[in-house]
Amino acid sequence: MTTQLLPSASTSDALQNAAYLAEQFDTMRQHQDYQAEDQFPHQEFDALREQGLLNTTLPGQPLDFQSKVTAELLHLLKLIGKGNLSVGRIYEGHINALYLIHLFGNPTQKERWYDDTEQHIFGVWNTQAQDGIKIQSLGHGEYQLKGAKTFCSGAQWVTRPIVTGQLISETGEDLGWQMCVVPLEQQKDLPVDASFWKPLGMKASVSHKIDFTDIILEEENLLGNPDEYHQQPYFSGGAVRFAAVQLGGAEAIFDATRKYLQKLQRTDDPYQQMRFGEMAILIESGNQWIQNAGKLADGDYSDEQIINYANMTRSAIEKIGLEVMRLSERCVGARGLLYPEPFALLHADLTTYLRQPAPDQALAQVGNYVGTKTDAAHALWSSQS
């Protein structure tokens, strides 16, 4: 896939390019077999690289993490998710990894890994089962990985994943939860279990299980100190990024629903109009959530405010996604859910991607926070300055 756009030179350029690519991704998705499995979106990531969106958060780039443009970054993530949720999921993991490197990498690591964005996709693989990762110190600055990760979105095509695991000293002491960057293209015959990934939707995210046993890493591949992966407010606050991608999926369903009924000339039906109105309110509500979440992330707000606003944002957007799907299904009926109409794939992808870890805990944490505060409601999210 090629485009006539130029690499991003400003924030507005980056967003314009993302909006254009989202339209292209949507068109490409409509021409793909909706039952297809394990098809990594190569063309889409070639296009993201061509338009400079794989390095857009690096120093001096349009969405430089140091420039306090989180709201704009969330809008970009929403646009990519709107074009294709599987692409959005992998891309969000790439952005997450670069943010962790921005936070915890030393200058030498940053220079090396930022340069790697020219050729490599990054990701963050933290989820595991009972056979999870241990990072065993061998001494002399060498470490051996043992175990596997599940839900490795992008699988072997993500060649710079941040892999987390228990750091074990030479004497067997558990030193904490450690991040490391694994140069995956250097590993021959990597055990990738594609049979693990048989989902309802998000098939193109190729979130396979990968066994890292016996991979040897140098100390320079360890990112940050043990347990920094869970450092707040970054750990919980990062939920706004996947929420933005989810909102893009909901917006894609809203647009597809309107287009479908316009084609059938059913938009003058008062009940359809009512559902359109409800969906419009939901989508705009989601836009306000990510806009305000970006403002808090960049402003003078406490860690508690950032964490709990992020928890509210992810909770609200989950409900928005579920309700938009319900309303869309009533709009298009059984006929609209037949292939080649886009709704079966759009709904399956969003249903799957909405299933994020610990949703009840996130909402309960918000309840605990606001329940113990004596501030007036309007002051709960006010700036500290």
Closest CA to 312 of 291, 278, 289: 289
| DSSP class of 49 | H
Bond into 340 cis (ω within 30): yes
Q: Classify residue 157 by burial, with Cβ atoms within 10 Å: 0-12, 13-18, 19+.
A: middle
Counting every residue written for the chain, the total comes to 385
Closest CA to 97 of 190, 17, 163: 163
Task: Provide the pLDDT confidence category of residue 38 given band limits of 50, 70 and 90.
Answer: low
Query: What pLDDT, on the 0 to 100 scale, is given for residue 31?
Result: 74
Query: Helix, strand, or coil here: 296?
Result: helix
Find the mean pLDDT for residues 35-44.
79
Task: Tell me the C-alpha to C-alpha distance, in Å, between residue 271 and each of 53, 104, 227, 251.
Answer: 41, 53, 53, 20
% pLDDT > 90, the chain: 91
Q: Which part of the chain has CATH 2.40.110.10?
A: 124-226
Task: Provide the pLDDT confidence category of residue 5 given band limits of 50, 70 and 90.
Answer: very low
Whether residue 97 contacts residue 162, with contact meaning beta carbons closer than 8 Å, is answered with yes
Q: What is the C-alpha R_g of the chain? A: 21
Sheet of 148-152: strands edge to edge? 148-152, 208-211, 192-193
Q: Which amino acid is at 353?
A: Y
Q: Which part of the chain has CATH 1.20.140.10?
A: 234-374
CA–CA separation, 293 vs 71, rounded Å? 7
Task: Provide the pLDDT confidence category of residue 173 given band limits of 50, 70 and 90.
Answer: very high
May I ask the CATH class of domain 124-226?
Answer: mainly beta
Task: Provide the pLDDT confidence category of residue 189 given band limits of 50, 70 and 90.
Answer: confident
pLDDT tens, position by position, 296-317 = 999 999 999 999 999 999 999 9
| Homologous superfamily of the 11-123 domain (CATH) | Acyl-CoA dehydrogenase/oxidase, N-terminal domain (1.10.540.10)
May I ask the CATH class of domain 234-374?
Answer: mainly alpha
CA–CA separation, 336 vs 349, rounded Å? 16
Query: What pLDDT, on the 0 to 100 scale, is given for residue 36?
Result: 58
Task: Provide the pLDDT confidence category of residue 3 given band limits of 50, 70 and 90.
Answer: very low
CA–CA separation, 22 vs 24, rounded Å? 5
Query: What pLDDT, on the 0 to 100 scale, is given for residue 384?
Result: 81
- Residue 380 pLDDT > 70: yes
Query: Helix, strand, or coil here: 11?
Result: helix
Which residues, 6+ apart, have CB-to-CB distance to 110 below 8 Å?
101, 102
Q: Classify residue 62 by burial, with Cβ atoms within 10 Å: 0-12, 13-18, 19+.
A: buried
Find the mean pLDDT for residues 176-196.
95
Q: Which part of the chain has CATH 1.10.540.10?
A: 11-123
Average pLDDT, the chain: 94
pLDDT tens, position by position, 134-165 = 999 999 999 999 999 999 999 999 999 999 99
pLDDT tens, position by position, 120-130 = 999 999 999 99
Find the mean pLDDT for residues 335-354.
94
Query: What pLDDT, on the 0 to 100 scale, is given for residue 367?
Result: 98
Bond into 59 cis (ω within 30): no
pLDDT tens, position by position, 265-301 = 999 999 999 999 999 999 999 999 999 999 999 999 9
CA–CA separation, 157 vs 185, rounded Å? 9
Task: Provide the pLDDT confidence category of residue 2 given band limits of 50, 70 and 90.
Answer: very low
Whether residue 328 contacts residue 254, with contact meaning beta carbons closer than 8 Å, is answered with yes
Beta-strand (E) ranges in 285-366? none
Say if pTM beats, i.e. exceeds, 0.75: yes
Find the mean pLDDT for residues 232-244.
98
Task: Tell me the C-alpha to C-alpha distance, in Å, between residue 265 and each of 260, 272, 328.
Answer: 9, 11, 16
Find the mean pLDDT for residues 64-76.
96
Query: What pLDDT, on the 0 to 100 scale, is given for residue 6?
Result: 45
Whether residue 328 contacts residue 344, with contact meaning beta carbons closer than 8 Å, is answered with no
